[in-house]
Amino acid sequence: MSSANLSDASLHYADLSGANLSDADVSGVFMSDSKLIDADLIGTDLSGANLYGADLSNAELNTAELSDANLSQVEGVTNNELEQAYSLEGATMPDGQTLKSNANTDGPTFDDWLKSRGEENNGP
């Protein structure tokens, strides 16, 4: 499914474990409670996607577009993996907090969010 256009699809409870969705357009997709274990999401456009409660264990998020995505209650994703995303602007984080964006100017940046959790961004 690499480079596929699945925008605005409903994949609620889908098991996409091990799927290659690299460079796919999955913007606005409804994927709550889905399994994306070991999925290749490199360069995938997940902007505005609803990933509530999804399992992202070992998913590759390098350069994934996650702006305005709902990541509430996602499982298996680390802060280091989230840091690899292209953008998290306006994303709702696993703890329910929404990051800063044009629509949410009072929200924290990713680095501020990490600090509020007692963590630091020690990236390059």
Half-sphere exposure of 104 (CA within 13 A, CB side): 15
Residue position matching structure tokens 């840091």 = 83
- List the domains of the chain with CATH numbers: 1-102 (2.160.20.80)
Q: How many CB atoms lie within 10 A of CB 101?
A: 15
pTM for the whole structure: 0.89
Q: What is the pLDDT along the chain (124 residues), one digit of tens a residue?
A: 677 778 888 889 999 999 999 999 999 999 999 999 999 999 999 999 999 999 999 999 999 999 999 999 999 999 999 999 999 999 999 999 999 999 999 999 999 999 988 876 655 4
Which amino acid is present at 16?
L
C-beta of residue 107 within 8 angstroms of C-beta of residue 98: yes
CB 53, CB 33: distance < 8 Å: yes
Contact 47, 70 (CB under 8 A): no
